[in-house]
Amino acid sequence: MKILAIDFDEHELSSIYYFLGQDSYNVQSLDYSKEVFEKISDNIYSLILLNISSEKKDSVKRCQSIRKESMIPIIVISDDEDLMKKILAFDYGADDFLVKPYNDLELKARIKALIRRQNYYKDFADNRTEIIRGPIKVNTITRKITVNDELINFTGKEFDLLSTLLANPKIVFTRVELLEKVWGYSYYGDLRTVDVHIRRIRGKFEKLLPNSQVVSTKWGQGYYFDELSL
């Protein structure tokens, strides 16, 4: 299983090679360049580790550029614990976010969880290729979502989160349950991660379904989908 590590220094790479190699991950590394996009276009990687630095002002935007080219899961690793940078990373398409210094075992757990989620949804696609809820159509093979036949672009985790809700109408999921179902872990992740993704999903439907509520909130409990709200 191949993992692409982007923009890490030699010391960090040495550590990543060692502890991920223990689990037989094949880690390849690149500096952020045109070669990154050439490599990810081959679709040979199961996951991307993207290092962003507080010294490089716009480094978080690199996540957005990568996401435009690929739906490969991205874990952003940063030396900056600023909440706004974390939210920006998710807005730009990150699937997960870790702040240095991080625990090697935690990173392994997050990697396994993301890959497990990816495999789950691939298996799900084999058995159920389409979910239709009113004007919303989800294709689980192409991982595309349309509203009245107009394509909306979603990140991998946005797609998985929305698909979970659409596939289970009127069922209220707590944030912890959604972390477990979509991200594959519970308190390894910040509960606000779910809120950030829900906000982004709602925002993408605002223009196409201005008078509808695609994701509803059950105050004090969690989130759910109800076709009557469309």
Distances (CA, A) of 9 to 23, 65, 179, 184: 22, 21, 31, 29
128-229 has CATH 3.40.50.300 classification: no
Is residue 177 within 8 Å of residue 222, measured between CB atoms? yes
Alpha helices in 131-217 (DSSP H): 156-167, 175-178, 192-205
Which residues neighbour 95 within 8 Å (Cβ) at sequence distance 6 or greater? 73, 74, 75, 114, 155, 156, 157, 183
Kindly give the parts of the chain with pLDDT less than 50.
125-126, 187
Note the residue count of the chain: 230
Interior angle at CA 85, CA 108 and CA 199, nearest 5 = 90
pLDDT, tens digit, 9 for 90 and up, residues 102-119: 999 999 999 988 888 776
Return phi, psi of residue 112, to 5°: -60, -40
Q: For residue 67, give the nearest of 181, 200, 169, 212 by alpha carbon.
A: 200
Cα distance between residue 110 and residue 118, in whole Å:
12
174: amino acid identity, one letter: T
In the chain, domain spans: 2-112, 128-229
Q: What is the pLDDT of residue 187?
A: 47
What is residue 44's predicted lDDT score, i.e. its pLDDT? 86
- The predicted pLDDT at position 70 comes to 84
pLDDT at site 122:
57
Give the CATH fold of the 2-112 domain: Rossmann fold (3.40.50)
pLDDT of res. 47:
95
User: What is the token pair recorded at 131?
Assistant: 């979910």
Torsion angle of C-alpha atoms 66, 114, 181, 199, degrees rounded to 10: -20
Q: What SS3 class is residue 173?
A: strand
Q: What string of DSSP letters covers 78-138?
A: ES---HHHHHHHHHTT-SEEEESS--HHHHHHHHHHHHHHHHHHHHHHHH--EEEETTEEE
Residues 81 and 85: their CA atoms lie apart, in Å, by 8
Closest C-alpha to 3, from 107, 121, 102, 144: 107
